A and B are shown apart, each in its own frame.
Chain A
Amino acid sequence: MAFMTDRKRAIGNGSAKSGTMHHWNMMISSVALVVLIPIFVFQFGVTLGGTYEEVVAYYSRPVPAAIAVLTMLVTFFHFRKGVQTLIEDYVHGFARKALIITMICLSYGAAAFGVIAILRIAL
């Protein structure tokens, strides 16, 4: 026992047996977002309002493109987990399952569209 971490001992002990990993996923993605979101907000905020040429030129640069790609990936992963918690709290039965699956598809779909679009602009 002495060699086990606190997290390892907590895994599997909740009523659903799998909640610790969910919480841990939210924690690590939120740490990433504390860094990514402020940078993305200002970069996107400055770019929005520019012409097509200005926007494409800005996101052709590697740093804004990398920040935007990472923000898409981590944000939609964080949202996919967060919205699941919301649905689990307020929706029950078949609607719960259907809605969770729908939101997972929407999250990963939006992330894929965002990443591919940014890469297409950047490359």
Chain B
Amino acid sequence: MADVNRGNRPLSPHLTIYRPQLTSMTSIFVRLTGNALLVAALMIVWWFVAAAAGPDAFATADAFLRSWFGDLVFFLSTWAVWYHTFGGVRHLIWDMGYMLDVEKSETAGLIMIIASVLMTIFTIVVT
């Protein structure tokens, strides 16, 4: 059946013209952080493999992980891993049927942002 009304129907929100909200942005960043953490994860695997291989291999991997590039990756990944963890906790709470309304979701989003920043500072100070 040909649709004569094409183009005049309500459309699903297009990201480019969609007003950013706390709930959508915190959700996007959960996805972003989770997938970006692959970089740090592979660097950690390399570090363990090098440590198992011997002192020479370890020196190479360790120098890379502790270079300015490694420091940058681990600094960002420390925040990413805490943010993603708190994001995951928010998903577990949602899955149990709590905090599903917009107001409480936004409160939880704000807590995620603050808690992840605080835990990042704490992790860097302690380790």
Across the interface, B48 reaches (CB within 8 A) one of A41, A49, A118, namely A118
Considering the complex, which residues of chain A in the window 109-123 have a beta carbon less than 8 Å from any beta carbon of chain B? Answer: 110, 113-114, 116-118, 120-121
Name the A residues within 8 Å of B126 (CB-CB): 42, 45-46
Report A40 CB to chain B, min CB distance, Å.
9
- A83 part of interface (Cβ distance < 8 Å): yes
Q: Are B44 and A44 in contact (CB under 8 A)?
A: yes
Interface size class of B (residues with CB under 8 A): 20 to 34
Name the B residues within 8 Å of A44 (CB-CB): 44
Residue of A nearest to B55 (CB): A52
CB contact under 8 A between A114 and B49, given known A42-B126, A45-B123, A45-B126: yes
Interface size class of A (residues with CB under 8 A): 20 to 34
Kindly supply a per-residue 1/0 record for chain A positions 6-29, scoring 1 wherever the CB is within 8 Å of any chain B CB and 0 otherwise: 000000000000000000000100
Name the B residues within 8 Å of A38 (CB-CB): 85
Residue of B nearest to A103 (CB): B38
Q: Are A113 and B91 in contact (CB under 8 A)?
A: no
CB contact under 8 A between A113 and B49, given known A83-B35, A86-B31: yes
